[in-house]
Amino acid sequence: MDDPIPASERSRQEQVFRFVAEATTHDGASATRIDTHGAVVFLSGDRALKIKRAVRFPFLDYSTLARRKAACEQELEINRRFAPQIYRRVVPITRAANGAFEIGGNGEPVEWAVEMQRFDESRTIDRLTREQPLAPALADAIADAIEASHRSAPKADTATWVASLLPILADNTSSFIAGGFPPDRVAALDRASRSAFERIRPLLEQRGAQGFVRWCHGDLHLANIVLIDGKPVLFDAIEFDPVFASVDLLYDLAFPLMDLIQHDRCDAAAGVLNRYLAVGDEAHAEGLRALPLLMSLRAAVRAKVMLSRPALDVATERSNRQIAMSYFALAERLIAPPHPRLIAVGGLSGTGKSVLARGLSGRVPPLPGAVVLRSDVIRKRLFGVADTERLPQAGYSRDATADVYRILGERAAHILAQGCSVIVDAVFSRQEERAAIEAVARDQDVEISGLYLVADVKTRLDRVAHRIGDASDATPDIVRQQQAYEQGDIGWTTIDASGSPDKTLIRALAALRLVDQVCST
C-alpha cells in the first residue's frame, strides 16, 4: 500500500473516531465500532455513521478531506439505488469554537460521514448462514433481488471490464506473495487463472456485446445483504470507482455464490444460481463456462481484502489471516472444477421429484452445484404462461410432451457443454424418453445416473392435493390415471420416496455416492 498520509492527519482522524465512539456523543447510548480496510462504522441507537479512513490504496484514495467528502456523497447517491430505506444523508463532523467536536454542527468540518438508518445486524445473510441453512424461499428471494438490480443497472464499457481482470489477478498474486502465502500454490493459482481467462475472454467479450456488462453493486458478499421486513436488501455498494463495479452480471452474482460456498451453504448457492437463471435472461446459461474463474477471482479478492483488514490486536490479526487463507484455498478449488455429470430424476406425479432435485443440486459438483431443468417449468414456458398458471388439456398432448422432452435434452446438452452438471426433473415414464436423455450424456461424454422415485398411491394423492403455487398441473385425478401406465423395465435405480423428503434425499445421495460430498474447503 502506498501510504503518504501525514501522521497529523491520522492523529486528527483518530481523535474523531474516539469522539464518535463515546456514549456522550449519542445521548448516553453506547456505540459499537466496526473497522474495515477503508472505513470505520459506528452503530448507536437507530443510527449508523460510516467514516472513510484516511488511506490510499491502488484502488481507492481517501487521503484528503475533500476526497472523503466526495466519496461519502457518491456512496449516498449510489446506494440509494439499492437501499433507499437505509441511506439518509451525508453529515459533517465539525469543530466548534471551543475546540469540541460535533456531529452536524455549524463549525468547520473536520470529517464527513454517511448517516444511515441502523438495521438489525443479526439479519445480515452472513450471520444467518452461520446459524442455520437458508430456506429455499430465502435463496430465491436473494436471487430475485440481485436480478432486479441487474435489470435496472446502466450498461458499461466491455473493453474496460475485460482489461481489468489481469491487473486484478496480478494484484491478488502480489498481495499473496507479500502476505507470505506458499509460493508454489500462489504461482499455481496465478497460472490456472491466467489460462482460464484466455479461454473465456471471447465469451466475456460476447456477453458484453449482448449488454451484460453493467454498473452493478460490485461488492455483494453476504455481509452486504440484509433482511429488512423479511426481504433481502443489498447495501454498501462500491462507490470509490464506478469502474470497479462495472462488470459482467455473472461476476456480480459470483460473489454471493462464492461466499455461500465459503459458509458451507452449497444448497443455498445452487438455489440462488438456479433461481437467477430462471428469472434472468436465458442467455446467461451460455455464460456458465465463465463461473469457475469469476468465482475464483471473487474468492481471491476476498482473501486479499482480509489480509489488508486492520486489526486492533494480535488475535484479530491472526483470525483475519486464517480467513484469508481459507478464501485463498477456495479460490484454488474453484479454478479447477471436476467434470460435470447428468442426473435424471423420474417418477409419477407426487413422488417428490422436484423436492429431491432441489435437495440434490447443491451436492453435485462442480461448485456451486447442478442446474435443475424441470419439465413442468419448461412446459409452461413453451406455452408462454406463468409457472403457476394452469394449462388446458392441449398443453399435455403427445406432441407437446415430445417438445418438452426435446427441449429438456437440448438444454441439458448445452449446459453440460458449459462445464456444469445438470439434474433433469421429469416423469420419464416412457422408455424412449429415458433413452433420449441417456443419449445426451453419451453425446456429451459425461456420466449419467438415472433415479426413478416410487411411492404408494395414497402418499402421492395426499402430496398432490396439498400443493400450493406450484408449476405442476397434476391433480388427484391425474395421479389415479397414472396408475394405469405400462412402464415396463425402468432400468434406472429405484428410490423409495414414500417417506419424508430427507429420507428420500439420503437414499438418493447413497445411490449417487454423494454422501461424503463436501461443500466448503
Q: What is the pLDDT of residues 78-116, one digit of tens each?
A: 999 999 999 999 999 999 989 899 999 999 999 999 999
Pairing of strands 213-215, 246-248: antiparallel
- 326, 377: one domain: no
Q: 129 and 17, same structural domain? A: no
Q: Which of 94, 118, 142 is the last residue of a domain?
A: 118
55 in a structural domain: yes
- Burial profile 472-501: b = 16 or more Cβ within 10 angstroms, e = fewer: bbbebebbeebeeeeeeebebeebebbeee
Res. 415: pLDDT tops 60: yes
Q: Kindly state whether residues 178 and 148 are assigned to the same domain.
A: yes
Residue 74 and residue 130 in one domain = no
User: What's the average model confidence in pLDDT over 470-484?
Assistant: 83
Extended strands (E) in 155-251: 213-215, 225-228, 231-234, 246-248
Domain that holds residue 71: 7-118
Q: Is residue 24 part of a domain?
A: yes
DSSP string, 421-459: -EEEES---SHHHHHHHHHHHHHHT-EEEEEEEE--HHH
For residues 84 and 62, is the Cβ–Cβ distance under 8 A? no
Is residue 1 a part of any domain in this protein?
no
Does 328 lie in the same domain as 179?
yes
On average, the pLDDT of the chain sits at 93
pLDDT score for 485:
77
3-class SS at 231?
strand
Domain-embedded: residue 316: yes
Per-residue pLDDT, 515 = 57
Q: Is the pLDDT of residue 2 over 60?
A: no
pLDDT at residue number 350: 92
Prediction pTM value: 0.92
Domain assignment present for 21: yes
| Same domain? 104 vs 193 | no
225-253 tens-digit pLDDT: 999 999 999 999 998 888 889 999 999 99
- Does residue 2 sit within a domain? no
Q: List pLDDT tens digits, range 352-365.
A: 999 999 999 999 99
SS (H, E, C) 251-310: HHHHHHHHHHHHCCCHHHHHHHHHHHHHHCCHHHHHHHHHHHHHHHHHHHHHHHHHHHCC
Q: How far apart are CA 49 and CA 46, in angstroms?
A: 10
pLDDT higher than threshold 90 for residue 439: yes
Query: 64-68, 277-281, 357-361, 515-519 — which is least confidently predicted?
Result: 515-519
**Average of per-residue pLDDT across 401-429:** 97
User: Does 468 have pLDDT greater than 90?
Assistant: no
pLDDT at position 519 is: 65
Same domain for 504 and 441 = yes
Number of domains in the chain: 3
pLDDT at 6: 81
pLDDT-derived band at 518, boundaries 50, 70, 90: low
Same-domain check for residues 328 and 352: no
In a domain, 520, yes or no: no
Domain endpoint, select from 334, 352, 367: 334
For residue 516, what pLDDT band results from cuts at 50, 70 and 90?
very low
Tens of pLDDT, residue by residue over 141-179, are 999 999 999 999 999 999 999 999 999 999 999 999 999
Q: Are residues 100 and 199 in the same domain?
A: no
CB 4 within 8 A of CB 56: yes
Q: What per-residue confidence (pLDDT) applies to 57?
A: 84
Residue 177 and residue 205 in one domain: yes
272 and 230 in a common domain: yes
Q: Give the residue from 100, 118, 136 where a domain finishes.
A: 118
Same domain as 162, residue 111: no
In a domain, 348, yes or no: yes
pLDDT grade for 394, boundaries at 50, 70 and 90 = confident
Residue 94's CATH number: 3.30.200
Contact 362, 269 (CB under 8 A): yes
CA-nearest of 328, 88, 117, 119 to 223 is 119
